[in-house]
Structure 1
Amino acid sequence: MRYASYLTPAGQPTWGLEVDGQLFDLGPSGVNLSPSLQSAIVDGLLTKTPESDGAPVQQVEGTRFLPLLSAPGKVICIGVNYRSHREETGRADVGKPTVFARFSDTLAAHGADLPIPRESDMYDYEGEVALVVGAPADHVRPEDAFKVVAGYAAFNDFSARDWQRHTGQWTPGKNFPLSGAFGPYFMTASEVGDVTELVVETRVNGEVRQRAAVSDLIFDIPAILEYVTAFTPLSPGDVIVTGTPGGVGLFMEPPTFLAPGDVVEVEVGKLGTLRNVLVA
Structure 2
Amino acid sequence: MKLVSYVADGAVRPGALRDDGRIVDLGGLAPSVLALIAGDALDRVRALVSDPATRLAPSAAPIVAPIPEPRRNIFCVGKNYREHALEFGGSGFDGGAKGGDEIPEAPIIFTKATTSVVGPFAPVLGWLDPDGQVDYEGELAVVIGRGGRAIAAHDAMSHVFGYTIVNDITARGAQKRHKQWLLGKGLDTFCPMGPTLVTADEIGDPAGLRVITHVNGELRQDAPVSDLIFDIPALIAAISQGISLLPGDVIATGTPAGVGIGFSPPRFLAANDIVSVRIDPIGTLENPIH
Aligned counterpart, 2:36: 40
User: Are 2:117 and 1:107 aligned?
Assistant: yes
Secondary structure of the equivalent of 1:250? Answer: helix
Deviation at 1:50, TM superposition (A): 4.1
CA distance in 2, matches of 1:107, 1:92: 28
Secondary structure of the equivalent of 2:261? Answer: helix
Deviation at 1:250, TM superposition (A): 1.0
Deviation at 1:49, TM superposition (A): 1.9
CA distance in 2, matches of 1:160, 1:51: 43
CA distance in 2, matches of 1:237, 1:180: 16
Give the AA of the match of 1:78.
V
Cα RMSD after superposing both structures? 1.4
Deviation at 1:118, TM superposition (A): 4.5
CA shift in 2, pair 1:55/1:269, >3 Å: same
How many residue pairs match? The answer is 272
Task: Tell me which of 211, 220, 232 is aligned to 1:209.
Answer: 220
Give the AA of the match of 2:150.
H
User: Are 2:275 and 1:257 aligned?
Assistant: no
Aligned counterpart, 1:49: 46
User: Are 2:205 and 1:194 aligned?
Assistant: yes
Q: Deviations over 1:12-41 (max 9, x none)?
A: 2112011121111111xxxx1110001001
CA distance in 1, matches of 2:246, 2:129: 35
Q: Deviations over 1:185-229 (max 9, x none)?
A: 001111111111110001000111011111000000011111111
In structure 1, runs of 5+ residues without a counterpart are none
Aligned counterpart, 1:71: 70
CA distance in 1, matches of 2:129, 2:230: 34
Give the AA of the match of 1:39.
A
Secondary structure of the equivalent of 2:236? Answer: helix
Aligned counterpart, 2:257: 246
CA distance in 1, matches of 2:159, 2:153: 11
Deviation at 1:233, TM superposition (A): 1.0
What does 1:38-187 align with in structure 2 at a 5 Å threshold?
38-46=34-42, 49-52=46-49, 53=51, 54-59=54-59, 62-69=60-67, 70-90=69-89, 91-116=101-126, 117-187=128-198
Secondary structure of the equivalent of 1:223? Answer: helix
CA distance in 1, matches of 2:237, 2:249: 15
CA distance in 2, matches of 1:118, 1:85: 23
Give the AA of the match of 1:37.
V
CA distance in 1, matches of 2:277, 2:61: 19
Structure 1 outlier segments of 4+, above 6 Å: none
Residues 74, 234 of structure 1: 8 Å contact kept: no
In structure 2, runs of 5+ residues without a counterpart are 90-100
Deviation at 1:55, TM superposition (A): 1.1
CA distance in 2, matches of 1:49, 1:57: 16
Secondary structure of the equivalent of 1:100? Answer: strand
Percent identity at matched positions? 37
